[in-house]
Amino acid sequence: MRLKVDLLPKSGYGDTVILVDVLRATTTASIILEGAEQLFITGSLGVARGFADSYNLLLAGEREGLPPEGFNYGASPADLRGLKFERDVVLTTENSPKAIEAVSEAKHVLLGSFYNARAVVDKALELATDEIAIVCAGMYGDETLEDIVCAGFFARRIQKMRGEVELKDAAKLAISLLRAYPDVQEALMGSTAGGMLEKLGLLEDVAVSSLISQSTCVPRLENILQWDGKSIFRFGAA
Amino acid sequence: MRLKVDLLPKSGYGDTVILVDVLRATTTASIILEGAEQLFITGSLGVARGFADSYNLLLAGEREGLPPEGFNYGASPADLRGLKFERDVVLTTENSPKAIEAVSEAKHVLLGSFYNARAVVDKALELATDEIAIVCAGMYGDETLEDIVCAGFFARRIQKMRGEVELKDAAKLAISLLRAYPDVQEALMGSTAGGMLEKLGLLEDVAVSSLISQSTCVPRLENILQWDGKSIFRFGAA
């Protein structure tokens, strides 16, 4: 089996992808699907509102890190943790839908974070036939430190479980970076996204997103809906 | 002053670029310009031969790591080190000319490696008005471990000399990676390019390319010539 790490989303994904957006979308997705049956992710605020309104769904999400007006919830893992949702949830964030779009051609798309690390790696190993691609979402086209450290965490675990697999330099880099961050929270705190959350008074989100293997919930892309010509990605727990 | 690290060549370079292709093009370029007045770099074997023939120049370069037929030299820093060239040199390699092309719009383009680390950073600080971009050449579109560790080495030195500069995650990542490789030769040995050179029996090139600040020679792009519709990049010592 092949294993690769992409420091930013590329294209040509065929088999199994673990998409990583630690701060905060993929952490939050696991947490929401612990308490809801289905999670719909979209990049459009208008689509999120219209779709939630039509199907009587709950609205969660952020613009510039904070919940848009009229939303039930923000995108904060610390706030959403432990909630039981009576209805399905629509989540809209600025960055992650583009990354989901980029990997959506793959046979299996899983959302991974430190929070569901063990479970998402186990599920990827179960589903993959030829290749696991660990894909870092990045932020507005730039690489993000916390996603690459998390990718290294997954890659190291896959290596341990599957023995030696041949790795390109991006995967080696991600694994090596773990040596520089024995405490992964330091990477999250030192990242651009971590700094932005700190400024917004959301340090608790950084702390929750640094917790390792707290959840066995693995969000998996089920299908893509179209709404006003835009994509809504439907996730369930794998 | 702004400082950024690009893990692969992007576009939009305006001020000062340090291009990094440690194994082996930018290391070799420094070594050649210690013994020659001018260095012409091209990606085309035909152009290299035709241009060298027309101007009675020496031919150095590689295809799949080894010197093409009829060449005076390979692209091996270990072999070229210490030579005095009686004529100017044409160097053709497979990967680096694409990276030079990508950054060639910048006002100042310098070639950097561990081998000329101190000198290239000093020269970049002297030339730059707004921004130094440290650009990793990569290999066939993939990131390379040794270039990113070298970029981290430059970035850390610039930080030390200029005090705190705001860094994006790619620069933080490169600097952090140095903590994982206190001996930079380990990064070169563990990289894909290092492995390829080892297979070709060229481990001495990895050793030479790991030496730090052995040369004060900083190759600088002077201008771009056109030959049969293809680019030849003319470098002199800055």
Residues B188-217 have pLDDT tens digits of 999 999 999 999 999 999 999 999 999 999
pLDDT of residue A81: 97
pLDDT of residue B165: 85
Read off the DSSP letter of residue A115.
G
Mean of all residue pLDDT scores within chain B = 97
CA closest to A149 among chain B residues: B173
Q: Do A169 and B144 touch (CB under 8 A)?
A: yes
Read off the DSSP letter of residue A24.
T
CB pairs under 8 A between A and B: 61
**Superfamily of structural domain A2-237:** ComB-like (3.90.1560.10)
Cα angle A18-A37-A126, degrees, rounded to a multiple of 5: 35
- Determine how β-strand A89-92 pairs with β-strand B230-237: unpaired
The partner residue sitting opposite A169, judged by closest CB among B145, B172, B178, is B145
Q: Do B181 and A176 touch (CB under 8 A)?
A: yes
Q: What is the pLDDT of residues A95-149, one digit of tens each?
A: 999 999 999 999 999 999 999 999 999 999 999 999 999 999 999 999 999 999 9
* Strand residue runs (E) in chain A: 2-6, 16-20, 39-42, 58-61, 89-92, 108-112, 131-136, 219-227, 230-237
β-strand partners of A42: A92
B170 chain-A contacts, CB cut-off 8 A: 142-143
Q: Which of A136, A169, A183 to mutate to test the interface with B (most CBs of B within 10 A)?
A: A169
The partner residue sitting opposite B176, judged by closest CB among A144, A170, A181, is A181
pLDDT of residue A164: 75
Cβ atoms of residues B74 and B205 within 8 Å: no
**A179 touching B (Cβ < 8 Å):** yes
Q: Do B169 and A7 touch (CB under 8 A)?
A: no
The partner residue sitting opposite A7, judged by closest CB among B7, B180, B192, is B7
The answer, yes or no, to whether residue A21 has pLDDT greater than 90, is yes
Prediction ipTM score: 0.92
Q: What is the pLDDT of residues B9-45, one digit of tens each?
A: 999 999 999 999 999 999 999 999 999 999 999 999 9
B180 chain-A contacts, CB cut-off 8 A: 176-180
Q: Do B145 and A7 touch (CB under 8 A)?
A: no
β-strand partners of A91: A41, A60
pLDDT of residue B208: 98
pLDDT of residue A145: 98
The answer, yes or no, to whether residue A220 has pLDDT greater than 80, is yes
**B191 touching A (Cβ < 8 Å):** yes
Three state DSSP letters for A149-176: HHHHHHHHHHHHHHCCCCCCHHHHHHHH
The answer, yes or no, to whether residue A17 has pLDDT greater than 80, is yes
The partner residue sitting opposite B142, judged by closest CB among A148, A170, A178, is A170
Scanning A6-45 for CB atoms below 8 A from B yields 7
Q: How far is CA A43 from CA A95, A97, B49, in A?
A: 7, 5, 53
pLDDT in tens, chain B (238 residues): 899 999 999 999 999 999 999 999 999 999 999 999 999 999 999 999 999 999 999 999 999 999 999 999 999 999 999 999 999 999 999 999 999 999 999 999 999 999 999 999 999 999 999 999 999 999 999 999 999 999 999 999 999 999 878 899 999 999 999 999 999 999 999 999 999 999 999 999 999 999 999 999 999 999 999 999 999 999 999 9
Gap from A112 CA to chain B (nearest CA, Å) = 20
Gap from B237 CA to chain A (nearest CA, Å) = 31
Scanning B54-113 for CB atoms below 8 A from A yields none
Closest by CA to A102, choosing from A35, A59, A43, is A43
The answer, yes or no, to whether residue A226 has pLDDT greater than 80, is yes
Q: Which of A134, A143, A189 to mutate to test the interface with B (most CBs of B within 10 A)?
A: A143
A177 chain-B contacts, CB cut-off 8 A: 173, 176-177, 180
**A199 touching B (Cβ < 8 Å):** no
